[in-house]
Amino acid sequence: MCEIRSYPVLAPVKPGALTQKLPASAPERGEPMERILADFCGQVIPAVTHWNHPGFHAFFSVSGAPPGILAEFLTAALNINEMLWKSCPAATELEQVTLDWLRQWLGMPPGWFGIIYDTASTSTMHAIVGAREKALAERGARLEDLVLYCSDQAHSSVDKGAITAGIPRTNIRKIPSDGDFRLQPHLLEAAVEADERAGKVPFCVTATVGTTPSTAVDPVPAIASISARHRIWLHVDGAYGGLAAIVPGRRWVLAGADGADSLVVNPHKWLLTPIDLSAFYTRHPEWLRRAFSLVPEYLRTDEQTVNLMDYGMQLGRRFRSLKLWFVMRYYGRDGLAAIIDQHCRWAQELASWVQADPRFELCAPVPLSFVCFHARGRTNQENQAWLDRINATGAVFLSGTTLRDVFVLRFAIGNHQTTRDDIVRAWEVIRSQLDGPAPTQYSQINPV
Ligand X SMILES: Cc1ncc(COP(=O)(O)O)c(C=O)c1O
**Under the rule (CB under 6 A), what is the footprint of ligand X?**
60, 119-121, 155, 157, 208, 210-212, 237, 239-240, 266, 278, 448
CB of residue 278 to ligand X, shortest distance in Å = 5
> Measured from the CB of residue 51, what is the shortest distance to ligand X in angstroms?
12
Shortest reach from residue 118's CB to ligand X, in Å: 7
Residue 395's CB is within 10 A of a number of other CB atoms, namely 21
Q: In the bound complex, what is the minimum distance in angstroms from residue 179's beta carbon to ligand X?
A: 20
Q: Whose Cβ is closer to ligand X: residue 121's or residue 321's?
A: 121
- Say how many CA atoms lie within 13 Å of 88 toward its Cβ: 21
Of 278 and 401, the one with the shorter C-beta distance to ligand X is: 278
Least CB distance from residue 240 to ligand X, whole Å? 5
Between residues 155 and 374, which has the closer beta carbon with respect to ligand X? Answer: 155
Least Å distance between CB 5 and ligand X? 25
Nearer to ligand X, 68 or 210 (CB): 210
Q: Pick the closer one to ligand X by CB: 75 or 208.
A: 208
Q: What phi and psi, each to the nearest 5 degrees, are found at residue 56? A: -85, 110
Q: Which of 72, 237 has the CB closer to ligand X? A: 237
